[in-house]
C-alpha cells in the first residue's frame, strides 16, 4: 500500500486529445487551451507529438517557450531516434522538459502489430530511454524521461516480463513509468492490482502514472483507484477528449479525489468555464448527461429528487448532487424540470421563480393539471405552466359565472351572476366592491365568511392585458379551511370581485 502523495495532474488534452480531433488544433488554438490549463494549475502538460507534423513541432516549441518555471512540459515520441530528437529539439528549452517515449509490451500487440519477439521489444525500449535520457539531459539539466507501456492493461499474462523490463528502463534513465489502459479491456480491480504490483516492484524515486481510455466508461474510476494504489501522476484530458471514447476526464478525477478528502492541487473553480471553451474549440459538444459539466448534470425531474434538492439547495452537500455547483464555477442553479414524474414542489418552485405568487396548497391543486399536460408533451416550458396557472388559479371554472359588476351609487354595487342555470341580479352594499359583492352573494343565499383581502402590485409584463395588480381573497371553506381566490383585471374593482368568484367556484364545485 502506498503512502499517499499529492496527485500530480499531467494533462494530455493537447496530445492524446488533439490527435483524436477531426481538425487538430493549430498553434494559436493550442495556446488558448494551454493557458486554460495554467489557470487550472495543472502540474504537467503534454504539448504534442512533434514528429507528427511541422505544425505540431512548432506548437510544441512555442508552448515550451512560454511555459512557467514550475510546469513540466512533455512531448511524445515513439522509440525512434528521429521522434526523440524532435521532442528534444522542440521542448528542450522549457524549464522542465520531459521526453515521453512509449512502446507496447502487451503479448498481443508485440505479436500482431509489432511482429517482434518480446526480448527484442525490451531492448528497443531500454535503448530508446537511454538515448532520450542522454539527449534531454545534454539539452537541459532539468530534463527527464517518461516511459509508457502502451496496452499495459493487456499485460496481465506477462506482468513479470513487464516488471523486469521496467526495472531496466528505470536503470536506463526513466523516472516516470506510465501504465495505460490503452483500450479499456481490463476490469478496474485487475488493472489497479497490476498498477500496485508495478509500484511495489520499482524503486521509490520512480513516479507511477495512470493513463486510461474510456472505451467502457470506467476511465475515471480506474484512474481514481490507481491513485490510491500508488499512481501519483494522473494523465487526464479536458472534457475527456481522446481517441475513440476519449481519455480520462480531468474534471471527474479532480472532483472525485477532492470529494475523497485528497488535497487536489487544481483550481476546481475554473472547471466549468474551461469545459465550455474546450467544447467550443474542439467542436465536441458536451453531451446532455455529462457528469459535472453536462446541461442535465444539475437537473431534477422526479418529485422525490426535486423535493430533496430544493430542501438542500443552499447547503454545500446536496441531497441529489455530488458537489455544490459553485465548486466547479457553475453559476446555474440546480434545474427543476417539470414532467409527468414531478410533483407539487416543482410546480411551486417554477411558478414562484417565474415571479407569480402561489401557496403550496394551490400548488397541490395545480399539480394534476400540469402533470396531465406534461404527460402529452414531456417537460413543460415555464410559459405553459404559467398558462395553466392563469387558467386554474385566476379563472376558476365552476358553478358561478360573473356576468356583470357595476358601481351604481355611493356604496351600492350591482352584481349580476349565474349559479348553475339560475340568474341573479343583486344590489350589494358595503364599504367598497369587496364588501358589496359579499353582501350581494349573501342576499342570494350564498353567505360565506370573508377572511382576508389584499391587492398585490405586480409587474405589468407578468400579468399582461394592462393589469398591474393581483387581487387575493381568502374565504372560509366548508371544513373551516382557508380557500384562496386570485384574479387579475385592469380594473381593480373587477379583479376583486373575480377573485371572490374564483374562491366561490373552488368551494362550490367540490
Ligand atoms: O493510450 C496510450 O497508450 C497512449 C500512450 C502513447 C501513452 O496514449
Ligand atoms: Zn492514450
Backbone angles phi and psi of 173, in degrees to 5 = 125, 0
488 neighbors 394 (Cβ within 8 angstroms):
yes
Q: Please, how many CA atoms are within 13 Å of residue 204, restricted to the half-sphere of its CB?
A: 5
Biggest alpha carbon–alpha carbon distance for the chain: 110
Stated pTM of the model: 0.91
Residue 146 CB–ligand 1 contact under 6 Å: no
Burial of 29 (0-12, 13-18, 19+ CB in 10 A): middle
- Distance (Å, rounded) from C-alpha 222 to C-alpha 278? 23
Write down the pLDDT at residue 468: 82
**Ligand 1 atom at shortest distance from the alpha carbon of 243:** 1
- Per-residue pLDDT at 305: 96
| Whole-number pLDDT of residue 463 | 86
List, for the chain, all residue ranges whose pLDDT scores fall below the cut of 50. none
Question: What is the tens place of the pLDDT at every residue in 97-151?
Answer: 999 999 999 999 999 999 999 999 999 999 999 999 999 999 999 999 999 999 9
Domain ranges in the chain are 8-266, 342-394, 400-508
What kind and span of H or E run contains 76?
A: strand 72-78
The pLDDT of residue 347 is: 97
Q: Is 235 in the pocket of ligand 1 (CB under 6 A)?
A: no
Predicted pLDDT at 27 = 97
Helix (H), strand (E) at residue 260: none
Q: What is the CATH number of domain 400-508?
A: 3.30.160.270
Distance (Å, rounded) from C-alpha 197 to C-alpha 358? 62
Give CA–CA dist 372/264, Å, rounded: 47
3-state helix, strand and coil shares in percent for the chain, rounded to the nearest 5: 45, 20, 30
**Contact (Cβ atoms closer than 8 angstroms) between residue 358 and residue 352:** yes
Atom index in ligand 1 nearest the CA of residue 102 equals 6
Integer Cα distance of 5 and 246 in angstroms: 27
pLDDT at 109: 98
Tell me the pairing of strands 144-150 and 96-104.
Answer: parallel
Closest atom of ligand 1 to CA, residue 178: 7
CA dist., res. 38 & res. 223, Å (int): 22
Residues 88 and 135: beta-carbon distance below 8 Å: yes
Which residue's CA lies nearest to atom 8 of ligand 1?
16
Most informative mutation of 44, 51, 76, 106 for ligand 1 (most atoms within 8 A of CB) = 76
As a whole number of angstroms, the distance between CA 239 and CA 285 comes to 9
The Cβ of residue 377 has, within 10 Å, a number of other Cβ atoms equal to 11
For residue 510, the model assigns a pLDDT of 62
Element housing 455 (H / E)? strand 450-457
The topology under which CATH files domain 8-266 is TIM Barrel (3.20.20)
Across-strand partners of 482?
476
* Backbone phi, psi, residue 148, to 5°: -110, 135
- Whether the CA torsion 347, 349, 350, 351 is positive or negative: it is positive
Bridge partners, residue 432, by sequence: none
Q: How far apart are CA 164 and CA 167, in angstroms?
A: 5
Ligand nearest to the CA of 209: 1
Three-point CA angle 233, 237, 240, nearest 5°: 130
Amino acid at each position: 500500500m502506498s503512502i499517499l502523495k499529492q496527485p500530480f495532474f499531467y494533462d494530455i488534452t493537447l496530445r492524446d486529445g488533439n490527435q483524436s480531433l477531426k481538425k487538430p488544433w493549430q498553434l494559436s488554438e493550442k495556446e488558448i487551451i494551454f493557458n486554460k490549463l495554467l489557470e487550472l494549475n495543472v502540474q504537467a502538460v503534454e504539448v504534442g507529438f512533434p514528429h507528427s507534423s511541422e505544425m505540431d513541432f512548432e506548437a510544441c516549441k512555442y508552448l515550451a517557450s512560454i511555459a512557467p518555471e514550475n510546469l513540466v512540459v512533455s512531448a511524445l515520441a515513439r522509440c525512434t531516434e528521429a521522434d526523440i530528437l524532435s521532442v528534444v529539439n522542440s521542448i528542450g528549452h522549457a524549464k522542465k522538459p520531459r521526453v515521453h517515449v512509449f512502446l507496447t509490451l502487451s503479448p498481443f500487440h508485440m505479436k500482431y502489430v509489432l511482429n517482434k519477439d518480446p526480448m527484442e521489444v525490451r531492448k528497443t525500449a531500454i535503448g530508446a530511454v537511454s538515448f532520450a535520457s542522454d539527449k534531454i539531459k545534454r539539452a537541459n539539466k532539468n530534463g527527464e524521461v517518461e516511459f509508457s507501456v502502451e496496452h499495459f492493461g493487456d499485460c496481465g499474462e506477462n506482468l513479470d516480463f513487464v516488471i523486469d523490463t521496467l526495472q531496466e528502463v528505470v536503470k536506463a534513465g526513466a523516472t516516470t513509468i506510465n501504465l495505460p489502459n490503452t483500450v479499456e479491456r481490463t476490469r478496474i480491480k485487475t488493472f489497479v492490482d497490476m498498477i500496485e504490483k508495478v509500484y511495489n516492484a520499482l524503486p521509490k524515486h520512480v513516479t507511477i502514472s495512470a493513463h486510461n481510455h474510456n472505451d467502457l466508461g470506467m476511465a475515471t474510476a480506474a484512474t481514481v483507484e490507481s491513485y490510491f494504489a500508488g499512481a501519483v501522476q494522473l494523465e487526464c484530458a479536458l472534457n475527456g477528449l481522446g481517441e475513440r471514447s476519449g481519455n480520462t476526464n480531468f474534471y471527474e478525477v479532480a472532483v472525485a479525489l477532492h470529494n475523497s478528502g485528497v488535497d487536489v492541487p487544481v483550481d476546481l473553480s475554473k472547471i466549468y468555464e474551461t469545459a465550455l471553451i474546450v467544447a467550443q474549440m474542439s467542436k465536441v459538444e458536451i453531451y446532455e448527461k455529462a457528469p459535472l459539466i453536462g446541461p442535465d448534470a444539475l437537473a431534477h425531474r422526479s418529485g422525490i429528487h426535486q423535493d430533496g434538492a430544493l430542501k438542500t439547495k443552499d447547503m454545500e452537500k446536496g441531497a441529489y448532487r455530488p458537489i455544490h455547483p459553485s465548486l466547479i464555477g457553475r453559476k446555474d442553479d440546480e434545474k427543476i424540470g417539470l414532467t409527468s414524474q414531478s410533483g407539487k414542489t416543482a410546480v411551486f418552485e417554477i411558478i414562484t421563480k417565474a415571479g407569480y405568487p402561489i401557496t403550496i396548497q394551490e400548488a397541490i391543486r395545480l399539480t394534476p393539471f400540469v402533470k396531465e399536460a406534461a404527460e402529452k408533451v414531456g417537460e413543460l416550458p415555464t410559459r405553459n405552466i404559467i398558462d395553466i396557472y392563469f387558467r386554474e388559479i385566476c379563472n376558476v371554472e365552476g358553478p358561478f359565472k360573473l356576468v356583470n359588476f357595476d358601481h351604481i351609487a355611493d356604496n351600492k354595487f350591482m352584481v349580476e351572476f349565474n349559479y348553475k342555470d339560475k340568474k341573479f341580479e343583486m344590489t350589494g352594499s358595503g364599504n367598497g366592491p369587496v364588501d358589496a359583492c359579499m353582501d350581494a352573494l349573501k342576499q342570494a343565499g350564498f353567505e360565506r365568511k370573508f377572511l382576508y383581502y389584499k391587492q398585490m402590485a405586480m409587474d405589468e409584463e407578468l400579468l399582461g392585458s394592462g393589469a398591474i395588480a393581483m387581487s387575493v381573497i381568502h374565504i372560509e371553506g366548508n371544513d373551516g379551511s382557508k380557500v384562496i381566490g386570485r384574479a387579475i383585471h385592469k380594473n381593480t374593482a373587477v379583479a376583486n370581485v373575480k377573485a371572490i368568484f374564483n374562491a366561490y367556484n373552488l368551494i362550490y364545485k367540490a
